[in-house]
């Protein structure tokens, strides 16, 4: 049995450094490029493993060079890959991200094999891995896959954490299976149908997102975190002042650290404090995956 099972996406990220994001029809000169193994699922699994959680991944890659690199990377970071299937007909997922001089970024993803995970295969994967204390989900695989995985986890007595990113309309059949919902301000606003631009607005949004004892964390970037645990206790954690190198993957660093601490027995607020520090370290250039083939 594992501490954490992540069911989700795997992408090979092409990272481009540029002074700013280009405008419509504009060709802009960049300063460097590189490749990173990513995808929200893969990033979160790697971070959880780095923190010390026994971690496994359920996912899918293509039968191509990208897929082999993604599998090798997970294994090198201590993530069990036996339930990452290889799709012989669809290419691996990938993304292109542009990072500007302030560390902000924009990205386009091509999901590829991530969209071909059969929902009916998840039960066998969960059984093969002998379950985990916590299941982690995101929105870069089909919702039917998330629902199937959440049902297996709930039936086995595991906690289900959903990082609802990227945000999309979700059926209550998934949300009803979620024990911990983690969203940023944009995702919180879209799910709750209200503006979430400040700590005050985030606090007011918590009751909308926390149903039937569900815990909620709303991340506000430099503004910190607002949360509500399963007992209804509300808390706020201030952001940590750091020199930003890149915000790419910061949310995944937060999630991976959070679930590793939760699996080790930490309460939600304590785990969120530790995850906040891990995300701050990540955006300042520490604990980021190394890029290769830089030019």
Residues serving a catalytic function are 252
Separation between Cα atoms, residue 217 and residue 273, nearest integer Å: 11
Q: Are 284 and 242 in contact (CB under 8 A)?
A: yes
Query: What three-state secondary structure class fits 164?
Result: coil
Instruction: Tally the residues of the chain.
Output: 295
- Which of 287, 38, 41 has its CA nearest to residue 161? 41
Assign 3-state DSSP to the chain and report helix, strand, coil percentages, each to 5. 35, 25, 35
Orientation angle between helical segments 185-192 and 199-209, nearest 10 degrees: 50
Separation between Cα atoms, residue 277 and residue 153, nearest integer Å: 28
Exposure of 152 in the CB half-sphere (CA atoms within 13 A): 28
């Amino acid at each position: 049995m594992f501490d954490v099972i992540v069911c989700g996406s795997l992408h090979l990220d092409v990272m481009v450094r540029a002074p700013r994001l280009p405008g419509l029809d504009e060709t802009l000169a960049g300063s460097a490029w590189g490749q990173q193994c990513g995808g929200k699922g893969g990033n979160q699994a790697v971070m959880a493993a780095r923190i010390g959680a026994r971690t496994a991944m359920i996912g899918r890659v293509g039968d191509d060079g990208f897929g082999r690199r993604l599998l090798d990377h997970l294994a090198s970071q201590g993530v069990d890959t036996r339930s990452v299937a290889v799709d012989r007909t669809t290419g691996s997922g990938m993304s292109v991200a542009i990072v500007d001089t302030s560390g902000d970024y924009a990205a386009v993803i091509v999901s590829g094999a991530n969209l071909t995970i059969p929902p009916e295969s998840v039960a066998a994967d969960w059984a093969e891995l002998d379950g985990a204390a916590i299941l982690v989900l995101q929105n870069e695989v089909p919702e039917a896959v998330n629902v199937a995985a959440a049902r297996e986890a709930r039936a086995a007595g595991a906690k289900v954490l959903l990082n609802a990113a990227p945000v999309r309309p979700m059926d209550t059949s998934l949300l009803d299976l979620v024990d911990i919902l983690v969203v940023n301000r944009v995702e919180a606003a879209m799910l709750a149908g209200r503006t979430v631009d400040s700590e005050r607005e985030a606090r007011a949004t918590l009751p909308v997102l926390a149903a039937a004892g569900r815990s909620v964390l709303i991340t506000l970037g430099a503004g910190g975190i607002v949360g509500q645990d399963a007992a209804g206790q509300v808390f706020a954690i201030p952001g940590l002042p750091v020199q930003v190198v890149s915000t790419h993957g910061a949310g995944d660093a937060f999630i991976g650290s959070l679930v590793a601490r939760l699996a080790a027995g930490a309460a939600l607020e304590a785990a969120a404090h530790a995850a906040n520090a891990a995300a701050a370290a990540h955006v300042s250039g520490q604990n980021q995956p190394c890029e290769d083939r830089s030019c």
